[in-house]
Chain A
Amino acid sequence: MVTSNQTLKLELGQRSLLQRLKPIDWIWTALLLVGAFFVYSEYANLMDLYEKGILVLTAVTLLVMGFSWRALQLLTTLIALLSLFGLSRYGGDLAQAEQDFFLKFMFSSQSAIMWMSALYVMATIAYFGWLFSQIEFVGRVASSMTWGATMMGFVGLMVRWYESYLIGADVGHIPVSNLYEVFILFSIITALIYLHYEKRYETRSLGGFVLLIISAAVGFILWYAFDRNADGIQPLVPALQSYWMKIHVPANFVGYGAFALAAMVGVVYLIKNRVVARNPGGLMAKQLPELNMLDDVMYKSIALGFAFFTLATILGALWAAEAWGGYWSWDPKETWALIVWLNYAAWLHMRLTKGWRGAPMAWWSVIGLFVTLFAFLGVNMFLSGLHSYGEL
């Protein structure tokens, strides 16, 4: 018999955004504001109204992302500091890249990108090492190297941005204009999305697999730089001189990165599915994440990619309306973007309306990567059109 004497006390956590912020968040906000004002005061004369808008938008996005994922605060701050250090070593003279010790070995864009490449490859090995050994230290090294590689990748791009202005004031442009540059962007965005899931799902066991595809991208970067000598900074053709590039290209690569990640998760799903059926007690069956978690990551990643790819395609259409005289020209790149989009729309329909799950969806997400890859590279290699900026 329960008596009615129990007192009910509800203590709600501090849920409103302002209340949840810690001192570190305020420092972060202050740093970000200082940074944004610094960039504005330094470069406002080079920006048009839209670019100022993009700067504000970037700052706000970073702020919000930093609040919900504090690791980004450190990452951003380090990128800013190292990039500024790199810029200061140049002292306005591009030739310093070969002379200054720090530039030559660390922070010239070439060197930073080499560091990024090396770290990603080592991180891949470390992740697999961790997967099979389960030594916590190895896992930490793997994660740290991925963070470090991502940091160096961003530093490389920031410094490259500056280097382009050193070549000539009219040559300067954001480094997302050719295949070499966007492959770097692809690597660091994919890594960031992965790191986000690593924290959110508290597992490192996807790391090796996702970094495999990043290592492949790194392989391409190295081949492109050393075999093709295609890593030079080229001035922009008139069609690319637009603020649209600053948002269209990154949005696209969030899409590509997320789709690539989803495909690798699909691979893990299929492996897990198989090893569980064959050898449920085995190492792989134990180490790899649960199937429904994999399914969830795959869905989240495709949803994220789809959302950004939608945005990117729309931005592309708006840009085309300004540069090519029509929002849609059935140019091969446009058309393949549509095909990629339709493919994932169908994937999402099947999952959300028909409730499809499991291996077929995993296979489909792997196939999706090939469709995406064709839109990304195949079109440049095999088809010709208006979009022939990054040629192989």
Chain B
Amino acid sequence: MAARIKIPFVLLLLPMLTGVVFDIKEFAVHDGPGLRVTVFLKGCALRCSWCHNPEGQSPEPQMLRGTAGERLAGVTFSSQALADRLNSLASLLRVGDGGVTFSGGEPLAQADFVSEVIDRLDGLHVVLDTSGYAEESSFRKVAAKSQLVYFDLKLIDAAAHLAHAGVDNQPILRNLHVLAKLGIPFVIRVPLIPGVTDTQANLSAITRTVAGLPGLQRIDLLPYNKAAGAKYAACGMVYRPTFDEGRESKVNLACFKSAGLKVRIL
């Protein structure tokens, strides 16, 4: 008898997806408008040599060992449990004209999970912070449920992208155009990596790629932070930048301005 009663519950529970999250950050001031909570989803296909969240790369939970002890990066949440946690802050986030940002890692590597969490949110404003590297269907699914997308563009040159970020950039560029067609407001974010992404050629190529796309709000340039390598040792990894860290990043904003694009350096 007992077993027969249990089965329907199990069936009810099965459809609820689980996801792996490596951090949930309150008052994330860089991740969208207003008072925000950012959920960092674990796992990313890219291997940007400047990545400063190395614990976001592997999809598996992993132990970080720092001077202050150990911390497990990677907690498994059911979509309802994560939504409950975010919803518990809903009234405060609404007072603060803010909401939830999904970042990572690459949130779209767990697109079905993220999508299900968004469905269970209490009407909160959603920002998707993505590398753009995802299946088109995954991208559509989550972007369509977001109110704003932060879309990273690193390198337009395919070979350079493969060399520095470890993957082909074609899916990224495709999804950028998918995004533009969806009509959802978005911000292009460009990490300024000395000699890699901050070159005149690359910035001009980015300008040509994004100029005139419907929904584009502005371009955010994110200067390279020399603390990027800080967490590698704790992850048992070695930081191997593919560029000269010490080089000053010199950026000419003229190409953005002449294309009429709004640009900010953060």
Q: Do A and B come from one complex?
A: no
